[in-house]
Every structure is written in structure tokens, then in C-alpha cells.
């Protein structure tokens, strides 16, 4: 019997029907899980009114509400490290399924929680606890999903697999945005405050549990199965091996995650608010343009993965970084004079942000199979907790100093991404 190489499934074969099924189920589950994680932010104002005292100052209520939202990010590294540890020792599939279960149940419970008026201080404490569990779940889901799909497909299609999965995650943001728009369109502000805010959480929980069921049909990755067969699993704490022997891969992955957060947090999550406060667009217009940008972002992620397979991730990150810098600068500097350019420019910017689809390709190939899950999870979640958490505050301070602060930040991080791409290109990657 011919043994399977540890780096990936045999690279000569084409993608099979089973590969496409694995990618589809993984991307669908990722989209639903990311929807569950992100839906909180779209209803933060309503949640703040219901889960904190009515006489609390508005600024303090908003601060505490976003503090609960941020708790999910702070819990990511711990959850990711623990789940990755068991993913490297017990199997990718088990943790892949557990992560979505740990996301679906808290989301469902959020939709059923009593408010502050009903149970007092226990309401925000319960909300905080559920948010921490969500953060731990997403910390295991994203790296676990990248590792899972990359180890199922032939080596020459790893970029496509990672890009497709990333596209699914970004589609989860779009689902959250569309759901928030739908709820606020169908119901009055009073109805949303009274009960309709619960609907997106309840639906998210139900769909998440459905995704748990669907993932039962997935199989363990051939790479992990081969590690078990050869008894080549990590013989010590996987994270200990990562920190001792793979520091360069950790640094590379953290830098690329920083670049990724600039694209997602600033261009996709923060910009709709900036369009309203800095450029005077109506909320509905800003959200419509944002939804279009996310659609093109999803397409861009798949394209970046395909191009990484064909031309190398280094070339994609180098050219993608330079293109995004040029387009983002044009986007942020032209809208005052040309507000009619909003939709095409934001769509083009979203497409260029899609170059981040090559980032997971680099990260999954940076670590050996025995510690791949732990290495990727540690690097990605630690960097996302730091940069994802600090980016909104840093960009806000930059905008206070200069209205084009967001543009400067995005362009600077595009430069970092291009430099990393050049480094990879020189190393033949």
C-alpha cells in the first residue's frame, strides 16, 4: 500500500466530488459560524439598552456593550490554543465539529436571555459569559477550518481550498449585515427593542446546529490519519514545539494576520460608519455599498487562492498589496469630490482586499503537519486579539489627527503585506 505524503493529499490528482463536498460543507459551516460571531455588533445599540440599567449614561452603556463584544476577541487565543492542542492530538474533525457547536449554542441562548429589567445584573453577566464561549469557538473554527480543508485536497489546490473557505467566512459577515437590514426594515424600532432583536440570534443558533449535523458527513483529513498510522503525532505539547522550533513561521503568520485585520476590520467593518460620519452618506446607502464590497471580497478571496496555487502566494501578496494600496487611497480621498463613485470604488476595494485569500495558504504551509493546527492557531489568534482589538482605537486616533487616518493605516499595512510577499517570492513561495 502506497503511503500518503504528510504535506497534503496526493498532488497529481484533480479535485474530486468528495473534495467539493468537503469544501462546500466547510465553507457553509464557516459562514454560519462567522454570522453567529458577528451578529452581536449589528444589534449592539439594542443590546445595550436591554442589558444595562436604563439610567446609565449613554457613553458608559455603549462602552460596556462593546466591551462585551471585545471579550469575544480576547477569548480567541485561549480557545484557539486549547482546541488546536487537541486537534493535533485527537483529530481535526472532532475540533472542527466542536467549534461550531460551541458557537451555535451560545448564540441560541443569547436569543433567549432575560433582560436587565427582568433579572438585573445577571443579564449582562450571562451575556458576557456566552460571548466568551463564542470567542473561544471562533478561535478554534477559523484556523481549524483552514487546516481541515488544506489537508483534504491535493497540494496544488491548497490555495483554492483556503481561499474558498475564507470566502465562506466573509460571506458570514454579509449574512449578518443583510439580516440586520432585513429586521430593521420589517419591524419598527419599538418592535425590534421589544422582541425582534432576538430573531437573528435564534436563527443563527438553529442554523449553527444544522451545520453541526451536516459536519457529521465530513471525514478526518488524510494527513492526520497518516500521522496516526505512522505514530508521528506530536510527542510533547504541540505549542511547546511551535514556540521552540518554528518562531520564524509564527512571526510570518502574525505579520500576515495583521495585514488581514487591516483589510477586514478597517475596510469592511469600520468603513460603513466612516462613510456616514466622515463623508455624509445615509446609513442605508453605506450599508448597501458595504454589502456589495463584501460580495466582491468573497470573490476576490477565491481568485487569490487560485492565483496562489498557480503563481505562488508571494506574487499574489506583493501585487495584491500594491493594488489595494492604490485603490484604497483613491477610495478614501475621492469620495468627497465624487460621491457617485461610492459603489464602484467600494466594490473594487473589496475585490482587492480579497488578496488576503492567499494568507491562510502561507500559514498552513509554514508549519509541519504534526503541529500545524497549534502553530497556525497560536499565531493567528494571538495576532488577531492584539491587532484586531487595537486597530479600531488606533484608526480612531489617526482620524482625529487627520480625516484620512484610515487611508494612511490601510496603505501602511498594504506596504507591509507587499514586503512579506516580496520576502516569500525571494524564497520561491
Residue 1: pLDDT above 50?
no
d(CA 383, CA 298): 22
Query: Does residue 375 surpass a pLDDT of 70?
Result: yes
pLDDT for the residue numbered 233: 53
| Domain boundaries, given as residue ranges, for the chain | 15-233, 236-429
- The pLDDT value given to residue 56: 77
Record the cell numbers describing residue 244, joined without a space: 521552540
Q: What pLDDT is recorded for position 422?
A: 93
- Condensed to tens digits (0 to 9), the pLDDT of residues 299-331 reads 999 999 999 999 999 999 999 999 999 999 999
Element (H, E) at 90: helix 76-90
- The pLDDT of residue 334 is 93
Q: 236-429 maps to which CATH number?
A: 1.20.1250.20
pLDDT, tens digit, 9 for 90 and up, residues 28-81: 878 888 888 888 877 877 888 888 887 777 777 767 777 777 777 778 787 777
Of all residues in the chain, the percent with pLDDT exceeding 90 is: 33
At residue 3 the predicted structure's pLDDT band, cuts being 50, 70 and 90, is very low
The predicted-structure confidence for 136-188, as pLDDT tens digits, reads as follows 888 877 888 888 888 888 888 889 999 999 998 889 988 988 898 888 888 88
Three cell numbers, residue 113 = 436571555
Query: What gap in Å lies between CA 262 and CA 332, rounded to an integer?
Result: 14
Residue 228 has pLDDT above 70, yes or no: no
The reply to whether 236-429 shares the fold of 15-233 is: yes
Residue 280, beta-bridge partner list? none
Length, in residues, of the chain: 429
Q: What local confidence, expressed as pLDDT, does residue 224 receive?
A: 61
Provide, rounded to the nearest whole percent, the portion of the chain with pLDDT above 70: 91
pLDDT digits (tens, 9 = 90+) for 333-351: 999 889 999 999 999 999 9
Grid cell in block for residue 281: 452618506
Of the candidates 399, 401, 398, 278, the residue with the CA atom closest to the CA atom of residue 342: 278
Q: 15-233 belongs to which CATH class?
A: mainly alpha
Amino acid at each position: 500500500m502506497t503511503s500518503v505524503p504528510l504535506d497534503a493529499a496526493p498532488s497529481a490528482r484533480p479535485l474530486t466530488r468528495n473534495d467539493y463536498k468537503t469544501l462546500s460543507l466547510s465553507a457553509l459551516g464557516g459562514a454560519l459560524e462567522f454570522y453567529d460571531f458577528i451578529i452581536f455588533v449589528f444589534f449592539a445599540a439594542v443590546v445595550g439598552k436591554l442589558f444595562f440599567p436604563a439610567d446609565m449614561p449613554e457613553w458608559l452603556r455603549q462602552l460596556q456593550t462593546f466591551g462585551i463584544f471585545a471579550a469575544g476577541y480576547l477569548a480567541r487565543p485561549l480557545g484557539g490554543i486549547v482546541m488546536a492542542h487537541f486537534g493535533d492530538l485527537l483529530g481535526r474533525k472532532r475540533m472542527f465539529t466542536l467549534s461550531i457547536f460551541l458557537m451555535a449554542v451560545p448564540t441560541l441562548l443569547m436569543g433567549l436571555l432575560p433582560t436587565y429589567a427582568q433579572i438585573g445584573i445577571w443579564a449582562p453577566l450571562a451575556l458576557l459569559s456566552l460571548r466568551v464561549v463564542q470567542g473561544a469557538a471562533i478561535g478554534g473554527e477559523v484556523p481549524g477550518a483552514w487546516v481541515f480543508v488544506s489537508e483534504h485536497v491535493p497540494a496544488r489546490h491548497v490555495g483554492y481550498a483556503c481561499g474558498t473557505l475564507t470566502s465562506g467566512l466573509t460571506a458570514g459577515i454579509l449574512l449578518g449585515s443583510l439580516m440586520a437590514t432585513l429586521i430593521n426594515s420589517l419591524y419598527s424600532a419599538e418592535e425590534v427593542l421589544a422582541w425582534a432583536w432576538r430573531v437573528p440570534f435564534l436563527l443563527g443558533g438553529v442554523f449553527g446546529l444544522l451545520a453541526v449535523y451536516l459536519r457529521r458527513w465530513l471525514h478526518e483529513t488524510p494527513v492526520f490519519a497518516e500521522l496516526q498510522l505512522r505514530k508521528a503525532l506530536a510527542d510533547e505539547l504541540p505549542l511547546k514545539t511551535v514556540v521552540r522550533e518554528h518562531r520564524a513561521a509564527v512571526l510570518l503568520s502574525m505579520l500576515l494576520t495583521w495585514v488581514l485585520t487591516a483589510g477586514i476590520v478597517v475596510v469592511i467593518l469600520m468603513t460603513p460608519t466612516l462613510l456616514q460620519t466622515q463623508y455624509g452618506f445615509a446609513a442605508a446607502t453605506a450599508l448597501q455599498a458595504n454589502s456589495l464590497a463584501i460580495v466582491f471580497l468573497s470573490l476576490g478571496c477565491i481568485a487569490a487562492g487560485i492565483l496562489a496555487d498557480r503563481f505562488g502566494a508571494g506574487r499574489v501578496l506583493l501585487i495584491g498589496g500594491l493594488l489595494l494600496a492604490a485603490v484604497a487611497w483613491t477610495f478614501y480621498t475621492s469620495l468627497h469630490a465624487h460621491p457617485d463613485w461610492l459603489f464602484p470604488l467600494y466594490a473594487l476595494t473589496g475585490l482587492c482586499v480579497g488578496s488576503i485569500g492567499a494568507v491562510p495558504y502561507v500559514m498552513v504551509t509554514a508549519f509541519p503537519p504534526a503541529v500545524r493546527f497549534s502553530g497556525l492557531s497560536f499565531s493567528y489568534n494571538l495576532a488577531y486579539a492584539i491587532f484586531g482589538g487595537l486597530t479600531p482605537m488606533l484608526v480612531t486616533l489617526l482620524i482625529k489627527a487627520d480625516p484620512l487616518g484610515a487611508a494612511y493605516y490601510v496603505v501602511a499595512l498594504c506596504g507591509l503585506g507587499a514586503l512579506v510577499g516580496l520576502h516569500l517570492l525571494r524564497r520561491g513561495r
